[in-house]
Amino acid sequence: MASIPFVKATACGNDFLIIDFAHVPSDVCSFSRRICDRHNGVGADGVEWVLPATDADLRVRLLNADGSEAEISGNGTRCVAAWYCAENDRSSVVIRTGAGLKTCFLTAREGNSFEFRSSMGEPEVGDEFTIKFTYGGISGIPISMGNPHFVVYVAEFELGWQAVAGQISTHDDFKHGMNVELVKVLNEKEIEVRFCERGVGETLSSGTGSCAAAVASIHTGKVKSPVRVHAPGGVQTVEWNKEVFLHGPATLLCRGEFFV
């Protein structure tokens, strides 16, 4: 029986399957959807396909749970870093992503649980604007972390926020879709965030989303760097001084083989 080996990892509840691209099937998009299915597959927010690189330790291609390709996942990159450091006894790893080179520095390890400080590059901060719906407008701040984000501030996370965030994510103004962060400011050092990611929907956490939410909040003077970002899946810390650094955990959960 043919099978494809995988490793499953999680970063604050944002879970990924790590697979060597040497095992890629003929239809990588369809296979990624199938293996990410939480009822008929292994279950994950996405697949990090690992390839060799000439200018880094390795290269990754990220496919979301719906089979669409994304530039980068901060949490997914950290999961790959945990896998690579465990396999090669390393304390740092340079990963080429669709959003450029990212370096993950190992700061702590206990068994299969890791902590990394990751360089996430320089963000691009746009001007706040309003997108229109039949029921009114929603204002947000566009941020690029190598992938697109729209940061919306809220007083509370209202019942049904997922549907609203999903409508923003697929709005006609965003031709290629949008990662959406709903942000509640707790104090000058902490924010709480809910995430709706392109190709996935609600996630328990997001690395680039945490960066975007923190950058927007620092940019608008609501908080000061470093910022603790609270999400349902856990807490990450974001520093921004020209370049963004993301500090957070990653845990290797299991390895197995998926029958094809």
What distance in Å separates the CA atoms of residue 14 and residue 233, rounded to the nearest whole number?
Answer: 7
Alpha carbon 177 to chain centroid, angstroms: 15
What distance in Å separates the CA atoms of residue 131 and residue 139, rounded to the nearest whole number?
Answer: 6
Sign of CA dihedral 152, 157, 158, 159: positive
Looking at the predicted structure, is the pLDDT value of residue 76 above 90? yes
Name the residue ranges covered by the structural domains of the chain.
Answer: 3-119+248-259, 124-241
Q: Which CATH code of 3.30.930.10, 3.10.310.10, 3.30.420.40, 3.40.50.300 fits the domain covering 124-241?
A: 3.10.310.10
Q: How many residues does the chain have?
A: 260
Peptide bond connecting 226 to the previous residue in cis, omega within 30 degrees of 0: yes
Q: Which CATH superfamily is domain 3-119+248-259 in?
A: Diaminopimelate Epimerase; Chain A, domain 1 (3.10.310.10)
What would the pLDDT profile of 52-73 be if each residue is shown by its tens digit? Answer: 999 999 999 999 999 999 999 9
What would the pLDDT profile of 223-258 be if each residue is shown by its tens digit? Answer: 999 999 999 999 999 999 999 999 999 999 999 999
Please determine whether the domains at 3-119+248-259 and 124-241 fall in the same fold group of CATH: yes
For the whole prediction, is pTM greater than 0.75?
yes
What distance in Å separates the CA atoms of residue 231 and residue 149, rounded to the nearest whole number?
Answer: 16
In DSSP notation, 157-219 reads --TTHHHHHHHHHT-TT-TT--EEEEEEEEETTEEEEEEEETTTEEES--HHHHHHHHHHHHH
